[in-house]
Amino acid sequence: MTYPNGQHPVQQPPGYYQYPYPVYVKPMTNGVATAAMILSLCGLVSFGTLSVVGFIMGLVGLQKSKELGGIGRSEALTAIWVGVGVVFAGALLFYLIFYGALAASVANA
């Protein structure tokens, strides 16, 4: 049998099946939610300044988790709750120290 231009079609030997190559699929992550959780937890040692940033990023990460089908939702909620808790605890501590010192100065006067 004669082929055009003297070329033979490329064929596999009979009885062999070529398996498809495995495809690597990168898992989807929510980096904003993860960063928010880390910043909120770092706010525990930074007197709450990073917790405010973590809280805001947690809200953004929660919105993004809705777009991603729930990926990163737990990290975003952790960032929000830790951020609120640290800011509330810091405000309570400031209130107790400030008004405690004020009461002590009035009592000594």
- For residue range 55-82, list pLDDT tens digits in order: 999 999 999 999 988 899 999 999 999 9
**What's residue 108's pLDDT?**
74
Q: Is the pLDDT of residue 83 over 80?
A: yes
- pTM of the predicted model, to two decimals? 0.68
Q: Contact 51/87 with Cβ under 8 angstroms?
A: yes
Distance in angstroms (rounded) separating the CA atoms of residues 105 and 108: 5
Tokens standing for residue 36: 């928010």
